[in-house]
Chains A and B, each alone.
Chain A
């Protein structure tokens, strides 16, 4: 069964600290993996997208890694800011159809305290 599991479910850190969010997936055949940021009451916004051949991709203070062999990804946030408080969703796409079926994780709720 194609699934996307994220950990931890929630995380609280102090402003300025770093953190790493995890994503494990069983989606096959794999096409790409995206990390989205979803602010409370808003729609998700894409942070990074990685295909099978990419190991790491950065977007400002966000760095995503992908290990396609172990089917794991991580999102590292450097020097956290209060505005980083949000839910971070891992989304994996398969190559099984022209739609590019998306499988969503439940997200990690990150709270950054001052």
Chain B
């Protein structure tokens, strides 16, 4: 079992609220990722980081922002939540050995519902 944690696990919030989804890992992994997943659909990469002070946008356009001030911590923030943000958000991390051996370890996810 990977040591990667996400909080909260479930969040129901009203439109316009600011939210931060927390993700932390204790494995010392350099790379961290945020994915968005709707029921029955594939995971979409929304943000990733190679290390401290490194953040990049993923393939799926997202209104969220991320920060990487510490190796173990990769929070995702939505400044103003909307119903279209309702989804499951998965955080992952991996060791930067290279793509052929780069297995990602996933957290349990945060199920976000915006009313």
Residues of A within 8 A of B (CB): 4, 9, 31-32, 34, 41-46, 49, 51, 89, 93-95, 97-100, 102, 104-107, 109
Q: Chain B residues with Cβ under 8 A from A51's Cβ?
A: 100
Closest residue of chain B to A42 (Cβ to Cβ) is B108
Selected interface stretch from B38-46, B62-70, B79-87? B38-46
* A49 and B103 contact, Cβ closer than 8 Å, known pairs A41-B108, A43-B108, A99-B48: yes
Are the C-beta atoms of A41 and B45 separated by less than 8 Å?
Answer: no
How many of chain B's residues have a CB under 8 angstroms from any CB in A? 25
**Given A43-B109, A102-B45, 18 more pairs with CB closer than 8 A:** A4-B42, A9-B40, A34-B103, A41-B108, A42-B108, A43-B107, A43-B108, A44-B43, A45-B2, A51-B100, A89-B42, A93-B99, A100-B98, A100-B99, A100-B100, A106-B41, A106-B42, A109-B40
Are the C-beta atoms of A31 and B108 separated by less than 8 Å?
Answer: no
Question: Once bound together, how far apart are the Cα atoms of A49 and B99, in whole Å?
Answer: 12
A6 to chain B, nearest CB (A): 9
Are the C-beta atoms of A41 and B111 separated by less than 8 Å?
Answer: yes
Q: Chain A residues with Cβ under 8 A from B42's Cβ?
A: 4, 89, 104-107
Identify which of B40, B44, B107 gathers the most chain A CB atoms within 10 Å of its CB: B40
B106 close to chain A: CB less than 8 A: yes
Q: Chain A residues with Cβ under 8 A from B48's Cβ?
A: 99
Are the C-beta atoms of A43 and B99 separated by less than 8 Å?
Answer: no
Q: Chain A residues with Cβ under 8 A from B111's Cβ?
A: 41
Are the C-beta atoms of A100 and B108 separated by less than 8 Å?
Answer: no
Are the C-beta atoms of A41 and B43 separated by less than 8 Å?
Answer: no
Query: 20 A-B Cβ contacts within 8 A?
Result: A9-B40, A34-B103, A41-B111, A42-B108, A42-B109, A43-B4, A43-B90, A43-B91, A43-B108, A44-B90, A45-B106, A46-B103, A49-B103, A89-B43, A93-B99, A93-B100, A99-B48, A99-B99, A100-B100, A102-B104
B92 close to chain A: CB less than 8 A: yes
